[in-house]
A and B are shown apart, each in its own frame.
Chain A
Amino acid sequence: MLKIATVSDFNLGNFAALLRNDGAEPAVAVVETPFGQPFQILADPSHPTWAEAVDCLIVWTQPQRVISSFAQALEHEQVDRAKLFAEVDQFAALVRSCQDRARMILVPTWTLPPWERGSSLLECRRGVGLADLLARMNQRLAEQLEGSPPGSTAQGASQSNVFVLDAQRWLVTAGIRSFSTKAWYLGKIPFSNEIFKQAVKETKAALRAISGATRKLVVVDLDDTLWGGIVGDIGLENLTLGGHDGDGEALVDFQRALKALTRRGIILGVVSKNDETTALTALREHPEMILRPDDFAGWRINWGDKAQNVVDLAAELNLGLQSVVFIDDNPVERARVREMLPEVLVPEWPADKTLYRRALLELNCFDVAALTQEDRNRAAMYVSDRERKHARRTVGSLDDWLASLNVTIEIEFLNEANLTRAAQLLNKTNQMNLTTRRMTEQELLAWSSEPDHRVWTIKVRDKFGDLGLTGLLSVETKAASLSADGAAPSGAARIADFVLSCRVMGRKIEETMVAFAVRHARDEGARVLTATYLPTPKNKPCLEFLRRSGMRESSEGSIFEWNTAEDYPVPHQVTIGSLDHALPGH
C-alpha cells in the first residue's frame, strides 16, 4: 500500500477520505497533516510527517494563503510584482526542499473561484488583472518546481520528482459548484467534493505512473469503431469516414487522437471480426484513413473469439494483459473481453461517434512520469518488429534468424543522459525483471553512486533499426576479503537489477548481460556471481530464462549463481558495440 501525505493551508479531510475510499489501483494509506501549517511542516525535516518514507506528497494551497502579495492583490491593492514573484520562488524552494522526503510530490496549480470576477474587463491585462497575475504565478511556480534543487546532482525538468497538476481543469469539470462558500465557512474546505474527486483521479493516475502500471497497448475494433459501417458489407468506398458528415469527421478526429497516442509511446493494435484482406485494403486505400497498417504494431483480423485474439496479440507483442486497453463499439464484445480478461481495461464506449475522441482523451491510464525519445519512437519500433518477425518466418532455425538480425548492443554506465529512460525502463518492465525493484531517477542515481554498486544501460540495434535503450543491469559487489583461514578470497557479487524490455527478449541479449556481469564480478575480485529471483505475478519469463541460462540453481529455486573462475560464453549472435564507457574495471 502506497503512503500519501497531504500538506495544505485548508481542510483536505474530504480529499483524503475520497482517496482512501477510492477503489482504483493502487490502494493508498493517507497521512493528513494539520491544515493551516504548510510552511511549518515543509520547512521542518524533523516533523513527524517525515518519520516514515512517503511515496507521494501532495502540497495543495490557496494562493492568497501562501503568497501574501496575492492576498493584497485580491483586495485590489497595488502590489510589487517583483516581491510577489520572489514569494512564489520562496514557496517553490520550500517545496523542492522536500524532494528527498518523498518519491513524488504533486502540487495542484493555484485557482480562484469562478465568481471571483476581479477587474472584469481588465482581468487579463498585465499589471491589473487577477487572472493575468495568477496565470503568471502558476507559470513561475511550475518553472521553479521543475528545476533542480540546490546542491542536487540531478538536472533538468525531466529528472524532477515534483509534478504540477492542472487544477483549473478540475474546476471546469466541476462547474459552478467547484467552490463551496458554505463548506469554507463551516469547515475551512474551499472546494466541493467534485473537485476532490477529480484530484483523486489525477493522483491515482500519477501513482500508477510512478509504479509502472500504465497501459501501453490500445487494441481497437474496426467496423463502427475506427470507421462507420461494415466494410465487408458495403465496401471501403461507402464507409463513413471524413467527408462532409458529422460522424465521418468525428471518426477522422478519433483516428488522429489514436495516432497522437503513438507519439506518447502507446502502441496500437487491431482485433476485428472481419476478412483480413478486405480490412487491410480499407486501411491502405481509403483516401481519408488516418491510421494505416504501418501505424499498428500488430493485428488479429479473423472470425475468432476477440478475447482469445487480444491474448494472442498481446503475447505476440510481448506485453502483459495489464498493459492492454480494448476499445470496441459492440457492448457484447466489450462484456466478453471484460469477463474473460479482467486485467484488460475495457472502457465503456459511447454509442454516439461524435463522443469517441472525447472518450479516448478522458482515459487516464497512459500517464508517465517522463517522455523519452524511445517513447516517441516506440510505435515505429514495433512496426520494425513486425517486419522482423516476418523475416523470421522466411529463415530456417532460430539461431539462423538471430544471426541474421545483426544484433549489436552498446553498454554504458548510468549517466545523466540516460538516467530518465533507465528509470522509466526499471519502473515499467514487468516480465524480464529479476527483482521488480521500482526507483525514481533520484533513487536510482543515488544507489548507483554507492561504492561497489554499478549500473549499466543496454542499447540495442539490429538490421531493422534502432531499438533504443532497452536493458538495465546493476551489480553490487562485496569487496573481496580473506576467508577465516586467510587462504582464499571470498568476495561475492550479486545482480541487483536484471531488466530487459519485452521488445528485445529472446535475442540472446539476456545471455550477453550475464556474461558481462560475470566478467565484471571477476574483475572486481568476486568468486561468485549470484542472482536472487523475487517472484511477482508477471516476471516468470525471468525465472524461465535463469533456468535455461546455465547458472546453478539453489535448492529453493530462487538463487542462481555462477563461479567466476569459469567464463560465461558471449552468444555469437550478439555483437557488443562501443564499450568505451562500460568495460568492467575501466
Chain B
Amino acid sequence: MDQPDRILGAIYRAIDELNMTQPMEGKVSKSPEAALAAPAGPLDSLGLVNLVVETEQQIEDEFRVAINLADQQAASASQNPLASVQSLADYIRSKLGDTDSG
C-alpha cells in the first residue's frame, strides 16, 4: 500500500473513533470529499479536537512518526487542513515529507 492510501486508512480509523462521540446527524463519512470543519462539515470545536487527537495517534501507529496537526504551521496554512478529509490527507503528507521516515 502506498503512502497516500496508508494516510487515508489512518484518517478513516480516526473517523471511526471520532464518530463514536458524534451525534447521529453529525457523523463524518469516510471519503476524501467528506467535509470536516464547520460550516461545510459537521465538526464543532470538540469534534475537531477529537479528530486531531485521534488522527495524530493513528498516524503515529501507522508510520511510527509523531506529527503535530495543531501547530502554527497548520494555523497559518493557506487552506485549512481540517476543511475536508482530502485536505487533511494532503497536509499530513506534507508533514510526513518534512520528516525522514517516509
Alpha-carbon distance A182/B57, docked complex (angstroms): 11
Query: In the complex, what residue of chain B is closest to A21 when comparing beta carbons?
Result: B20
Stretch of B33-41, B42-50, B84-92 lying at the A interface: B42-50
**CA A453 to CA B20, docked complex, whole Å:** 47
Q: A13-B46, A177-B57, A187-B49 are in contact. Are A193 and B70 (CB under 8 A)?
A: no
B23: interface (CB < 8 Å): yes
In contact, A182 and B45 (Cβ under 8 angstroms): no
Question: Size class of B's contact patch?
Answer: 10 to 19
Is A186's CB within 8 Å of the partner chain B?
Answer: yes
On whether the beta carbons of B70 and A186 are closer than 8 Å, the reply is: yes
Is the C-beta of B62 less than 8 angstroms from some C-beta in chain A?
A: no
CB distance from B56 to the nearest CB of A (A): 7
* Inter-subunit contact B20/A193 (CB<8 Å): yes
A472 → chain B closest CB, angstroms: 41
- How many inter-chain contacts with C-beta < 8 Å in the A-B complex? 40
Whether A183 lies near B21 (C-beta < 8 A) is no
Residue of B nearest to A188 (CB): B49
CB pair B50–A14 under 8 Å, yes or no, is yes
Interface size class of A (residues with CB under 8 A): 10 to 19
Using CB atoms, name the residue of chain A closest to B17: A193
Q: Across the interface, do A186 and B49 meet the contact criterion of CB distance under 8 Å? A: yes
The prevalent SS among residues of B at the interface is helix
Residues of B within 8 A of A189 (CB): 49
B-contact 0/1 string along A489-517, CB 8 Å cutoff: 00000000000000000000000000000
- Nearest-CB residue, chain A, relative to B26: A17
Q: Is A18 an interface residue (CB 8 A)?
A: yes
CB-contacts of A306-320 with B (<8 A): none
Chain A residue with minimal CB distance to B22? A17
State whether A17 and B49 are in contact (beta carbons under 8 Å apart), knowing that A177-B57, A182-B70, A193-B17 are contacts in the complex. Answer: no
A180 vs B55: C-alpha distance in the bound complex, in angstroms? Answer: 13
B52 at the interface (CB under 8 A from A): yes
A17 touches B23 (CB 8 A): yes
Q: How near does chain B come to A204, taking the closest CB pair, in angstroms?
A: 15
Interface presence of B83 (CB below 8 A): no
**Which residues of A sit under 8 angstroms from B70, Cβ to Cβ?**
182, 186
Instruction: Say how far B65's CB is from chain A's closest CB, in angstroms.
Output: 15
Q: Is the CB of B53 closer than 8 A to any CB of chain A?
A: yes
Query: Given A18-B20, A187-B45, A193-B17, 6 more contacts at CB 8 Å?
Result: A13-B21, A21-B21, A180-B53, A182-B53, A183-B50, A187-B49
